[in-house]
Amino acid sequence: MKIIKAESYQDLSRKAANILSAQIILKPDCVLGLATGSTPIGTYKQLIEWYEKGDIDFSHTSTINLDEYCGLSPDNTQSYRYFMNEHLFKHININIHNTHVPDGMAVDETKECQRYDNLVNLLGGIDLQLLGIGHNGHIGFNEPNPSFEKTTHIVMLDDTTIKANARFFPTLQEVPRKAITMGIKTIMQSKKILLIANGADKEEIVRKALTGPVTPKVPASILQFHPNVTVVYCFEGGIL
Ligand code: F6R
C-alpha cells in the first residue's frame, strides 16, 4: 500500500487527479470506477482543468460509479447521476453512454443489481477505482455488517451515513434510506484502488481501516488485502 500525505485539500485533489490522468494517458480506453461525495469534487475539478488545457482525452474512457440512492431519478439534483454529470461528465469529452451509474429507479432491484455486476464484467473489470471513506468505514455504500457483501446489492443506510449525507439535502427527512451499491468483491477485483480522505474527522477511521483488524465492521479494512492500493490523505497526523 502506498500512503501519500497531502499538504492541503487542493494538493490532495491534484495528486488524485494526477493518478487518474496517468491511468487515462497510459490506457485511453480504461475503465475508471468513480465515487461521489464531497472529497472527490476537487479531483474532478482538476481533471476538468487539465482536459480544458488539452492534457487529457476522455473520448475512449468508460466510467462506472459505486452507488446510487434508491428512488431518485437522474434529473433529481440529489441523485448521484446528477452529481456526476454536474461535477465531471458535462465538462469533458467523455461519451455519456460510456458512463454508468446504478439505476436508482429500477422497479426490479434484484435485476438491476445483477445487471450492474454483469456490466462490470462486460467492461472487462475496473482498471482504477476511486474511493472515499465514510466515518463508519464504509466504501461505496457497504455499511458495517456482520459479513462482507460481495456483489452489487441494496442496502439500508446507517443512521451515521444518513446524518452525514443530510448536509446535501434540505431536511434530514429527505435523505433516502435505501441505496444500491457495488459490493466488496467487485471493488476488490479492481486492478488498482485510489482511496482519498480529507479532514481531521476522517483521521481516526482511516487509521482504524488501514492498520486495525480486517473486519466487515469496518468495511474499508478489506483494502489491506488488495495488492495495489494508493491512499492520498490530508489531515494532521500520520496513518502508520
Ligand atoms: C459515494 C461513496 C461514499 C463516499 C463516502 C465519503 O459514492 O461511495 O462511500 O465516498 O461517504 O463521502 P465524503 O467524501 O462526502 O466524505
Q: What is the pLDDT of residue 1?
A: 97
ipTM of the complex: 0.99
187 SS3 class: helix
Quote the mean pLDDT of the chain.
97
| CB 137 near ligand 1, within 6 Å | no
pLDDT category of residue 239 using cuts at 50, 70 and 90? confident
Q: 174 alpha carbon to ligand 1 midpoint, in Å?
A: 18
- Ligand 1 atom with the smallest distance to the CA of 131 is 10
pLDDT category of residue 229 using cuts at 50, 70 and 90? very high
The count of other CB atoms within 10 Å of the CB of residue 97 is 7
Report if residue 72 sits inside a domain. yes
Question: Which residues are known catalytic residues?
Answer: 67, 136, 138, 143
* Cβ partners under 8 Å of residue 34, min gap 6: 40, 63, 64, 65, 66, 84, 88, 130
Q: What is the pLDDT of residue 216?
A: 98
Q: In which element (H, E) is residue 50 found? A: helix 41-52
Closest residue to atom 11 of ligand 1, CA basis: 134
Q: Is 109 exposed, middle or buried (0-12, 13-18, 19+ CB in 10 A)?
A: middle
Per-residue DSSP letter, 65 = E
Q: 111 alpha carbon to ligand 1 midpoint, in Å?
A: 25
Report if residue 16 sits inside a domain. yes
- Ligand 1 atom with the smallest distance to the CA of 132 is 10
Question: Does the pLDDT at position 16 exceed 90?
Answer: yes
Question: Does the pLDDT at position 115 exceed 90?
Answer: yes
* Cβ partners under 8 Å of residue 143, min gap 6: 134, 136, 155, 156, 157, 158, 161, 219
Nearest to 99 by CA among 22, 31, 26, 151: 31
**CATH code of residue 92:** 3.40.50.1360
Average pLDDT (130-142) is: 97
Using the structure block, give the residue that is written with the C-alpha cell 454536474: 86
User: Based on the structure, what is the number of domains in the chain?
Assistant: 1
Report if residue 219 sits inside a domain. no
Report if residue 137 sits inside a domain. no
pLDDT category of residue 199 using cuts at 50, 70 and 90? very high
Q: Is 98 exposed, middle or buried (0-12, 13-18, 19+ CB in 10 A)?
A: middle
pLDDT in tens, 72-101: 999 999 999 999 999 999 999 999 999 999
What is the domain extent for residue 123? 8-127
Question: Does the pLDDT at position 130 exceed 90?
Answer: yes
